[in-house]
Amino acid sequence: MIRIKREICTGCEICISSCPYGAIEMVEDRAFITEMCNLCRACLSACPVGAIIETEESRLPTTDSRLMDFSGVWVFAEQRRGKLHDVSLELLGEGRRLANILSTELSAVLIGSNIEKEAKTLIAYGADKVFVADDPSLSDFHDDSYGHILAGLIEKEKPEIILSGATSIGRSFIPKVAARLRTGLTADCTRLGLDGKILHQIRPAFGGNIMAVVICPNRRPQIATVRPRVFKKPIPEKGRKGKVIKVHVPEDISLRTKTLEFVKDLTSTVNISEADVIIAGGRGLGDAKNFRLLEELAEALGGAIGASRAAVDAGWISYPHQIGQTGMTVSPRLYIACGISGAVQHLVGMQSSDIIVAINKDPDAPIFKVATYSIVGDALEVIPLLVKKIKEVRG
For the chain, which residues make up each domain, given as ranges? 2-58, 65-246, 277-394
Range 170-181 average pLDDT: 89
Cβ partners under 8 Å of residue 70, min gap 6 = 158, 159, 160, 220, 221
pLDDT category, 208, cuts 50, 70, 90? Answer: low
- pTM beyond 0.75, yes or no: no
State the Cα–Cα distance between residues 395 and 387, nearest whole angstrom.
12
- Give pLDDT, residue 279: 93
Topology agreement, domain 2-58 and domain 277-394:
no
Range 245-257 average pLDDT: 79
pLDDT category, 267, cuts 50, 70, 90? Answer: very low
Using an 8 Å Cβ cutoff, are 77 and 49 in contact?
no
In this structure, the strands spanning 79-80 and 83-84 are antiparallel
Burial classification of residue 373, based on how many CB atoms lie within 10 Å of its CB (0-12 exposed, 13-18 middle, 19 or more buried): exposed
Using an 8 Å Cβ cutoff, are 147 and 177 in contact?
yes
Indicate whether 222 pLDDT > 70. yes
Indicate whether 262 pLDDT > 80. no
Chain centroid offset of residue 212 CA: 16
Average pLDDT, the chain: 87
pLDDT category, 205, cuts 50, 70, 90? Answer: confident
pLDDT category, 56, cuts 50, 70, 90? Answer: low
CATH class in words for 2-58: alpha beta
Burial classification of residue 22, based on how many CB atoms lie within 10 Å of its CB (0-12 exposed, 13-18 middle, 19 or more buried): exposed
Percentage of the chain exceeding pLDDT 70: 94
CA atoms within 13 A on the CB side of 264: 4
- Give pLDDT, residue 97: 94
Q: Could you tell me which CATH number the domain at 277-394 has? A: 3.40.50.1220
Range 57-79 average pLDDT: 73
- Give pLDDT, residue 122: 94
- Give pLDDT, residue 58: 44
Using an 8 Å Cβ cutoff, are 306 and 278 in contact?
yes
More confident residue, 36 or 288: 288
Chain centroid offset of residue 6 CA: 39
State the Cα–Cα distance between residues 387 and 301, nearest whole angstrom.
9
pLDDT in tens, 318-340: 888 999 877 888 888 899 999 99
Indicate whether 206 pLDDT > 60. yes
State the Cα–Cα distance between residues 133 and 150, nearest whole angstrom.
9
More confident residue, 135 or 395: 135
Cβ partners under 8 Å of residue 54, min gap 6 = 1, 2, 3, 41, 44
Percentage of the chain exceeding pLDDT 90: 42
CATH of 65-246, picked from 3.40.640.10, 3.40.50.720, 3.40.50.620, 3.30.413.10, is 3.40.50.620
Phi, psi dihedrals of residue 25, rounded to the nearest 5°: -140, 165
- Give pLDDT, residue 269: 54
Indicate whether 94 pLDDT > 90. yes
